[in-house]
């Protein structure tokens, strides 16, 4: 069976890590006899915006909807296009129109990687962040009044629906059921944000009744972030709203050494539309063009895509290759964010060789 994959490298280091993600996927496909067909698209980046006045062509939905997955790099180049325009013009359109309501972000401390947290070893940090991905704080509902005057007012609403909350909670509880510790932690701020967040808590309580085998914790986001740093070993599956999930899934990987290795899957669980796989990191204009970006977030995202297609052995093999290279911690191979002097290419070469072995 051929899997058709739309490739959108996007901006900045997306252009540099994407070829390495594809090389790793091709190596895995070769080894496991998988048929992956890649089609490259040059829209969804800020240069496309400068040329066309928009991030995507009118018919982007038609062009992409029949692919089996989208493999995405990064978006944003604030010197060219304001960040909210580039993000809303591309990635957030994909998540919404393709109903990718789960953003799954694994967070694992791997051998050979130095955690900034004291005395943490592999196994101490190993959890998933499940981020609600289509509503919540990421709404463009609101507006400005008295613009340009001293009475200027800006309003932006958070949008939460029972349907939207329940479906992400269901996914998170089912994921927790498959994990050895069977533990779910929910992030809110229901003392301060007194309508939407207590409602989220109510839905957690209601949903928890269906999963008596899963133990459930609820935290306010402020103390939860503190506990990510102080007690990362407490967590197994952490579920949160769009904004809180976004923050936690940058903090989590930072606790595992570098956000450069963090992968993510934007999933439409029903399979009605393509799911999208992308590193958690953004376009990093500060290091773009230098050949030093860590390719692991992109490669690991490729592994998540193979798992999504049902190729668990191939996905595990890719992740094992990443782990084997990191465990060696060769300073000439690993990138700067990992404490080495290597480049995108040296790290990618080592991982691709390990996949081929
Ligand atoms: N590779 C993902 C990417 O480019 N992220 C940029 C970003 O700011 N994303 C925000 C989000 O995930 O909501």
In ligand 1, the atom with minimum distance to the C-alpha of 242 is 13
Distance 219 CA to ligand 1 centre (A): 25
pLDDT at res. 73: 98
Residue 98 DSSP SS3: coil
In ligand 1, the atom with minimum distance to the C-alpha of 103 is 12
Alpha-carbon distance of 52 to 43, in angstroms, equals 10
DSSP 298-356: HHHHHHHHHHHHT-HHHHHHHHHHHHHHHHHT-TTTS-GGGT----HHHHHHHHHHHHH
Distance 214 CA to ligand 1 centre (A): 31
Averaged pLDDT of the chain = 97
Residue 207 DSSP SS3: helix
In ligand 1, the atom with minimum distance to the C-alpha of 138 is 13
What is the tens place of the pLDDT at every residue in 287-344?
999 999 999 999 999 999 999 999 999 999 999 999 999 999 999 999 999 999 999 9
* For range 138-150, the mean pLDDT: 95
What is the tens place of the pLDDT at every residue in 199-237?
999 999 999 999 999 999 999 999 999 999 999 999 999
Distance 61 CA to ligand 1 centre (A): 20
Nearest CA owner, ligand 1 atom 7: 282
* For range 4-9, the mean pLDDT: 98
State the distance between the two ends of the chain, measured CA to CA, in whole angstroms. Answer: 24
pLDDT at res. 38: 98
Count of CB atoms situated within 10 Å of the CB of 24: 26
From 74, 117, 43, 39, select the one nearest 294 (Cα to Cα).
Answer: 74
ipTM of the complex: 0.91
Count of CB atoms situated within 10 Å of the CB of 137: 18
3-state secondary structure 59-111: CHHHHHCCCCEEEEEECCECCCECHHHHHHHCHHHHHHHCCCCEEEEEEECCC
Domain boundaries, the chain: 1-100+299-357, 115-256
**Which residues lie closer than 8 Å to 273 by C-beta, 6 or more apart?**
65, 97, 98, 99, 100
**Which residues lie closer than 8 Å to 59 by C-beta, 6 or more apart?**
none
Residue 99 near residue 273 (C-beta atoms within 8 A)? yes
Distance 34 CA to ligand 1 centre (A): 29
In ligand 1, the atom with minimum distance to the C-alpha of 75 is 4
From 14, 73, 81, 17, select the one nearest 46 (Cα to Cα).
Answer: 81
* For range 57-62, the mean pLDDT: 98
Distance 163 CA to ligand 1 centre (A): 24
From 121, 67, 122, 113, select the one nearest 94 (Cα to Cα).
Answer: 67
* For range 30-45, the mean pLDDT: 98
Report the percentage of the chain scoring pLDDT > 70: 100
Distance 75 CA to ligand 1 centre (A): 7
Nearest CA owner, ligand 1 atom 11: 246
DSSP 151-187: T-EEEE--B--HHHHHHHHHHHHHHHHHSTT-EEEEE
From 87, 2, 70, 78, select the one nearest 36 (Cα to Cα).
Answer: 2
Residue 264 near residue 105 (C-beta atoms within 8 A)? yes
Nearest CA owner, ligand 1 atom 5: 282
Instruction: Tell the residue number behind the tokens 């990992």, with chain if given.
Output: 338
* For range 23-40, the mean pLDDT: 98
Residue 94 has pLDDT above 90, yes or no: yes
Distance 92 CA to ligand 1 centre (A): 9
pLDDT at res. 118: 81
Pocket test for ligand 1, best of 77, 87, 279, 283 (most atoms within 8 A of CB): 87
pTM exceeds cut of 0.90: yes
- Tell me which fold the domain 1-100+299-357 belongs to: Isopropylmalate Dehydrogenase (3.40.718)
Instruction: Tell the residue number behind the tokens 């800006």, with chain if given.
Output: 154
Alpha-carbon distance of 224 to 215, in angstroms, equals 17
* For range 151-155, the mean pLDDT: 97
Query: What residues does ligand 1 touch, defined as CB less than 6 Å away?
Result: 74-76, 87, 246, 278-279, 281-283
Distance 357 CA to ligand 1 centre (A): 33
Report the percentage of the chain scoring pLDDT > 90: 96
- Per DSSP, what are the bridge partners of residue 322? none
Residue 24 near residue 356 (C-beta atoms within 8 A)? no
What is the tens place of the pLDDT at every residue in 100-133?
999 999 999 999 998 888 888 888 899 999 999 9
* For range 262-277, the mean pLDDT: 98
pLDDT at res. 190: 96
* For range 130-138, the mean pLDDT: 97
Nearest CA owner, ligand 1 atom 1: 74
Nearest CA owner, ligand 1 atom 8: 282
Residue 245 has pLDDT above 90, yes or no: yes
Q: Which CATH code fits 115-256?
A: 3.40.718.10
In degrees and rounded to multiples of 5, residue 326 shows phi and psi of: -65, -40
Alpha-carbon distance of 123 to 350, in angstroms, equals 24
Residue 164 has pLDDT above 90, yes or no: yes
Alpha-carbon distance of 315 to 114, in angstroms, equals 24
Alpha-carbon distance of 23 to 18, in angstroms, equals 9
């Amino acid at each position: 069976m051929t899997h058709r994959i739309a490739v959108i490298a996007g901006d900045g280091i997306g252009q540099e890590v994407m070829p390495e993600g594809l090389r790793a996927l091709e190596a895995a496909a070769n080894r496991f006899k998988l048929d992956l067909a890649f089609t490259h698209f040059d829209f969804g980046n800020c240069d496309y915006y400068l040329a066309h006045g928009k991030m995507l062509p009118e018919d982007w939905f038609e062009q992409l909807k029949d692919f089996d997955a989208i493999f995405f790099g990064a978006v944003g180049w604030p010197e060219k296009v304001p960040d909210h325009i580039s993000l809303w013009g591309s990635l957030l359109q994909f998540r919404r129109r393709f109903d990718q309501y789960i953003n799954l972000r694994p967070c694992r401390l791997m051998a050979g990687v130095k955690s900034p947290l004291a005395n943490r070893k592999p196994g101490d940090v190993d959890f998933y962040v499940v981020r609600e991905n289509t509503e919540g704080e990421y709404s463009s509902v609101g507006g400005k009044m008295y613009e340009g005057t001293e009475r200027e007012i800006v309003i932006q609403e958070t949008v939460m629906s029972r349907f939207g909350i329940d479906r992400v909670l269901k996914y998170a509880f089912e994921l927790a059921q498959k994990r050895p510790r069977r533990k779910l932690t929910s992030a809110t701020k229901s003392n301060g944000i007194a309508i939407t967040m207590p409602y989220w808590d109510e839905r957690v309580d209601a949903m928890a009744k269906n999963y008596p085998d899963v133990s459930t914790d609820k935290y306010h986001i402020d103390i939860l972030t503190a506990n990510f740093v102080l007690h990362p070993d407490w967590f197994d599956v952490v579920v949160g709203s769009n904004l809180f999930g976004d923050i936690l899934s940058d903090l989590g990987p930072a606790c595992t050494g570098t956000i450069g290795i963090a992968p993510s899957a934007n999933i439409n669980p029903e399979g009605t539309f393509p799911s999208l796989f992308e590193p958690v990191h953004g376009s990093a204009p500060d290091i773009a063009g230098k050949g030093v970006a860590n390719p692991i977030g992109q490669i690991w995202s490729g592994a998540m895509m193979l798992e999504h297609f049902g190729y668990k052995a191939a996905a595990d093999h890719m992740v094992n290759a990443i782990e084997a290279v990191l465990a060696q911690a060769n300073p000439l191979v690993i990138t700067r964010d990992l404490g080495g002097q290597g480049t995108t290419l040296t790290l990618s070469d080592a991982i691709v060789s390990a996949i081929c072995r």
